[in-house]
Amino acid sequence: MDLVLLGAPGAGKGTQASLLGEILPLPRVSSGDLFRAALANQTELGLKAKVYMDRGELVPDEITIGMVAERISQPDCAHGVIFDGFPRTVAQAQALDDLLGRMGRKVDLVIYIRVSTPVLLERLAGRWTCPKCGRVYHRLYSPEKVQGECDDCHVPLYQRDDDTPETQSRRIAVYLEQTAPLQAFYRERGLLVEVNGEQDIQAVHADIVKAIQKARGEAA
Ligand code: ADP
Ligand code: AMP
């Protein structure tokens, strides 16, 4: 199954992708994580992407699409992928259709996690991330067991450079301009299921699992 998680920055895509990864035998492909890994390795791609990430802008389509194409050509992606943060433009969505089409696959389901802007801002402001595994925490809603330390890797958590108040607002504006049109793109194709992302993490997860079961024709 190829599943896309769609939603604004802070909607909970990464959180839900991790939970789904525990129950579906599919890899999670997060374009944001791929850029951050490239940057940590100081690759040319990472350094190019950083300029856009720091401003809260989207990395140009040709760079992003090439990077994701390379990732999903790897053997662990042969039976499907959980896409987190990709596609983010109509051109990326069309490219994804082409890439999957060449593998005899298609996007099977798009989950749109709906969250209002004030809630997004509160979530981004309280987000702490593990630099090693990428797991995200929230000081109020999903705290780590030992303050400041990843539960799994036991390394210090950090706040992302692009989680500053100015960049957060820019990223949400960019989402509304460039990514929100994907809601109509996938709705017209009968692939979009909307879930209320303002519920607690487990309730959002339960709604997503129900949508997946329905798409697969399984009883809930
Ligand atoms: P995204 O990947 O869409 O940018 P994240 O999964 O990183 O979003 O979540 C953003 C922040 O909000 C994190 O700190 C996460 O712990 C928290 N969070 C995610 N989902 C929920 C939820 N349903 N309720 C409260 N906080 C949440
Ligand atoms: P994320 O981790 O999904 O919040 O992404 C962090 C940043 O990486 C974004 O603000 C963009 O600058 C960049 N990025 C991630 N995914 C994409 C994408 N699909 N298209 C363009 N830029 C992206």
Cα–Cα dist 34/184, whole Å:
27
Active site residue 189: no
Annotated catalytic residue within 36, 50, 123, 127: 127
Q: What is the pTM for the complete model shown?
A: 0.96
User: Which amino acid, 25?
Assistant: P
Annotated catalytic residue within 50, 88, 105, 123: 88
Predicted confidence (pLDDT) per residue in 3-33, tens digit? 999 999 999 999 999 999 989 999 999 999 9
- Is the separation of the CB atoms in 12 and 197 below 8 Å? yes
Annotated catalytic residue within 48, 160, 170, 210: 160
CATH code, residues 2-115+166-216: 3.40.50.300
* Residue ranges of domains in the chain: 2-115+166-216, 116-158
Q: How confident is the model at residue 218 (pLDDT cuts 50, 70, 90)?
A: confident
Closest listed residue to residue 31, CA positions, set 23, 185, 9, 75: 9
Ligand having the closest approach to the CA of 58: 2
Distance 139 CA to ligand 1 centre (A): 11
Cα–Cα dist 177/89, whole Å:
9
Predicted confidence (pLDDT) per residue in 66-125, tens digit? 999 999 999 999 999 999 999 999 999 999 999 999 999 999 999 999 999 999 999 999
Cα–Cα dist 111/152, whole Å:
27
Q: How confident is the model at residue 163 (pLDDT cuts 50, 70, 90)?
A: confident
Residue ID of nearest Cα to ligand 1 atom 24: 200
Tokens 């692009």 -> residue: 162
Closest listed residue to residue 93, CA positions, set 183, 171, 215: 183
User: Which amino acid, 120?
Assistant: L
Residue ID of nearest Cα to ligand 2 atom 9: 53
Predicted confidence (pLDDT) per residue in 32-81, tens digit? 999 999 999 999 999 999 999 999 999 999 999 999 999 999 999 999 99
